[in-house]
Structure 1
Amino acid sequence: MKSVLCYGDSLTWGYDPEGRVRHAFEDRWPSVLQAALGVRATVIPEGLNGRTTARDDHLAAADRNGARMLPSVLSTHSPLDLVIFMLGTNDMKPLICGKAFGARQGMDRLVEIVRYHAYPSAADAPDVLIVAPPAIRETGDPDYAAMFAGSIDESRMLASLYADLADQTGCGFFDAGSVAATSPIDGIHLDAANTRAIGKGLEPITRMMLGL
């Protein structure tokens, strides 16, 4: 059986912008991907609200630095066949980074960690699939509008930057914005239909990369 780690932020955790609660288990994109792949693969959801690619958020109660937490997560769930990264939205916060290229640098670091982690053997290193999150959009929510001020145009650059990075590093790539869009409620998160769409959209490339 193949093992897939889904390493992400609130979009992977399943944050519901309408009720500010968590989507039902079956509506979260890793759950949808698991249902699509069936018994030949195990999909492990590892989503944390506010997680960045590789930067600190000193206002958070949990460690949101994706690069710092990743080695422990890899060791916890090893052996893995595929790691799916969907991160970068929180890097768009001006207080964190505010630049799409900064998110690309962080994603590059995550790929490097996966490639050079201390696995029992070199053959245990999993493949990597980089997913660009749907772009940020305008919202009437004053808190989110302020939190991500000036980030809309930057977030629209993530897909092309991540696609180039995937080419350079030999990773798979998927643009989640090709199948889903963020909610105007807060401009960041996904309603149930859109998070399900990401799970369905990821099935073909995931099957290909796993050899299923």
Structure 2
Amino acid sequence: MKSILAFGDSLTWGFEGGTFRRHAFADRWPNVLAAGLDGKARVIEEGMNGRTTVFPDPTCEAERNGAVALPMLLATHQPLDLVIIMLGTNDIKYANRCRAFDASMGIERLVMLVKNHAYNADYKPPQILVMAPPHLVKTDDEWFNDLWGHAIEESKLFAKHYKRVAEEQGVHFFDAGTVAKADKTDGGHLDAKNTRAIGEALVPVVKKILAF
């Protein structure tokens, strides 16, 4: 059986907009993907609310820097056949780094961490799928509007910059924004239908990558 690591933020964790609860197990995109792979692969959910690509977040006691967490997870879950990375929304919520370009540079570092990790000598490095998250949308929620309302237009550039990084690094790319849209209740998270849509759309993509 193949092993896939789904590495991301609240969109991978399954944060339900408007409720602060987690989507049902069967609705979260990593598990929808796993269900569509006909028992040929397991998908490891590694989503964390607030996680960034490479930037520290001093407002939270938990470590949200993806570059710190990823090497530990690569070691913990090896051997891996595929690592899917979907991050960036939390990178642009801060006023001092509100560019999708900066997030793409963080994505590039994560890709390099996967490529250069010190895997067990018996295991090959996994393939990599970079995924651009759906862009932010307008919300009437005052708190979330203050959090990332300024970055709506910038978030629409994720796919452009991430695709470039994927091409330069010779890894796979998928734009989740082509199949899913953020929920306007908070402007950034997904309802059950849209998180399922990502998992469903990834099934043929992952089957092609893993050749089954």
Q: State the TM bucket, normalised to the shorter chain.
A: over 0.9
**Matches for 1:95-174 after TM superposition, within 5 Å:** 95=95, 97-121=97-121, 124-174=124-174
Task: After TM superposition, give the deviation of residue 127 of structure 1 in Å.
Answer: 0.5
Aligned residue identity for 1:87: L
Unaligned 5+ residue runs, structure 1?
A: none
1:199 corresponds in structure 2 to: 199
C-alpha distance in 2, partners of 1:199/1:6? 11
Query: Are the counterparts in 1 of residues 80 and 125 from structure 2 also a CA contact under 8 Å?
Result: yes
Say whether the 8 Å CA contact 2:179–2:198 is kept in structure 1.
yes
Q: CA RMSD in A?
A: 1.1
Which residue is 2:59 aligned to?
A: 59
Matched, 1:10 2:10: yes
Q: Structure 1 residues 145, 118: closer, same or farther in 2, change over 3 A?
A: same
Quick one: distance in 1 between partners of 2:95 and 2:63? Answer: 16
1:130/1:174 contact within 8 Å kept: yes
1:21-77, Cα deviation, whole Å (9 max, x unpaired): 000000000010010002110110100000000000100121000011110000000
Provide runs of 4+ in structure 1 moved above 4 Å. Answer: none
Give the length in aligned residue pairs.
212
CA distance in 2: counterparts of 1:137 and 1:205, whole angstroms: 26
186-195 or 60-69, larger mean C-alpha shift: 60-69
Identity %: 49
Runs of at least 5 residues in structure 2 that lack an aligned partner in the other structure: none
User: For the residues of structure 2 that align with 1:7 and 1:96, how far apart are their CA atoms?
Assistant: 24
8 Å CA contact retained: 2:134, 2:176: yes
TM-aligned CA distance change 1:60 to 1:37, over 3 Å:
same
**Per-residue displacement from partner, 1:161-212 (whole Å, max 9, x unpaired)?**
1111111101111110100000000000000000000000111111111111
> TM-score with structure 2 length normalisation?
0.97
